[in-house]
Amino acid sequence: MAKEGKYIYCIIKTSQERNFGPIGIGGRRDEVLTIGHEDLSMVVSSHPIIKFTVSRENMLAHELVIEEVMKEFDSVLPVRFGTVAATCDETRNLLDRRYREFKNALVNVEHRIELSVKGIWENMDDIFKEITRENEEIKKLKKKIQKDSKNKNVPAKMEIGKMVEEALQNKKGKEADTIIDLLRRSACDHKVNKTMGDEMFMNAAFLVDRGREKEFDNIMSDLSEEYKGRIKFMYTGPLPVFNFVNIVIYPEEWEK
């Protein structure tokens, strides 16, 4: 049987002991508590010292705890998924060694939240038609293929496929840049993440002061109205600042 340790979710600024309830990762309903040093605390729950499987269930459990902590604390430093200390003393020693680093990082995210925006084209047939209209070379090559009555012009078909794919990627970039440029004016920082599939052209995270969240909401409302019928926006938040802070604790640090 694996030895019990302390799974770490995040770091907060408090000297008071806190209990966030039986919501610990692993499905055992372990209590989520704080272990503190001076005015900093790590949010932890008991868990066997094992290598964690990166699964949707585990990731959601990790995020759920941090989101619960955010209900009471404005400034939260997420710790990388799967971090487990052997003992309470190890967590206190780490807080002591990296105290100044953690304090500065908390200042940087104080009263700030992460908002996620994904942009998805609603009708890809329309998008491909636009690509054809906007690109003369694609238009000419399509006409050439259509004139081939036997329809066996394989090299031309392969070439047009490459051209359309390249044009699609360019179109994704341009449309994403236009929307991100509007949203970043209400944000302290932003990060562009990978998109999935042809339909999603934008996947971005924004670091926003809580005082400007309503301003950001209003811009999103305007964008949804402006692009109605063309783009569906997936807008979520407030979220932990995963894209802007991810505290990493290496195994060798526990041995110090």
Q: Which two tokens stand for residue 199?
A: 């339909």
Q: What is the pLDDT of residue 156?
A: 58
The helix-helix angle for 154-183 and 213-226 (nearest 10°) equals 140
- H or E, element range at 42: strand 40-48
Q: Where are the domains of the chain?
A: 4-109+243-254, 114-239
State how far the alpha carbon of 114 is from the alpha carbons of 14, 103, 205, 241, in Å.
21, 19, 7, 5
Residue 221 structure tokens: 């409302």
pTM for the whole structure: 0.81
Phi first, then psi, for residue 149 (nearest 5°) are -60, -30
Burial code (b: 16+ CB inside 10 Å, e: under 16) for 236-248 equals ebebbbbbbbebe
The token duo for 227 is 């692009």
Contact call for residues 27 and 106 (beta carbons, < 8 A): no
**Is 93 within 8 Å of 128 (Cβ atoms)?**
no
Tens place of pLDDT per residue across the chain (256 aa): 678 889 999 999 998 999 999 999 988 899 999 999 999 999 999 988 877 878 888 899 999 999 999 999 988 999 999 898 888 889 999 999 999 999 999 988 888 999 999 999 999 989 888 887 877 666 666 666 666 655 566 665 676 677 777 888 888 999 999 999 999 999 999 999 999 998 999 999 999 999 999 999 999 999 999 999 999 999 998 888 989 987 888 766 665 5
Residue 194 · residue 175 · CB < 8 Å? no
pLDDT at 46: 92
Query: Is 116 in contact with 240 (CB distance < 8 Å)?
Result: no
CA gyration radius, the chain: 24
CA distance readout (Å), 234 to 169, 205, 212, 224: 20, 12, 19, 10
- Which of 197, 20, 67 has its CA nearest to residue 119? 197
Q: Which residues pair with 120 in a beta bridge?
A: 200, 232
Would the CA dihedral through 65, 67, 71, 72 be positive or negative?
positive
pLDDT of the residue at 111: 87
